[in-house]
Amino acid sequence: MSVDNKTVRHIARLARIALAEEQVEPMANELNNILDWVRQLEEVDVAGVPPLTSVVEQRLKMRDDLVTEGDQADALMANAPEAEDHFFVVPRVVE
């Protein structure tokens, strides 16, 4: 897959990025270079290689999932600038 100027403009519009016309061609080249690099990664043989999250073998410490202090709603809501029925009241952000 190759990225052309039309695709760069479309991506910029979707991402809400203002892209000047003189930046379109260099951006297309940059995106094509990134895609070429990803294609190179696809050539790596990873058969038999287990997935890992760290280079050091680690086990997470486990503990029992127990409620130690329950029924603290009133104490928690005492710190709220504004509360209603044990919920924090915040300014509306979605109309």
Instruction: Report the C-alpha gap between 95 and 92 in whole angstroms.
Output: 7
What are the pLDDT digits (tens) for 46-80? 999 888 878 888 888 898 888 888 888 888 899 89
CA distances 12 to 4, 24, 35, 36, 64, Å, are 12, 9, 17, 20, 49
- Is 24 contained in some domain? yes
CB neighbour class for 24 (10 Å; exposed up to 12, middle 13-18, buried from 19): middle
Instruction: Find the DSSP H helices in 2-89.
Output: 5-14, 21-42, 73-77
Share the mean pLDDT of the chain. 90
- Whichever domain contains 9, its CATH number is 1.10.20.60
Q: Is 15 a member of any domain?
A: yes
pLDDT of residue 73: 86
Whether the predicted pLDDT of 19 surpasses 90 = yes
95 domain-assigned: no
Structural domain contains residue 26: yes
Full residue range of the structural domain in which residue 19 is found: 5-42
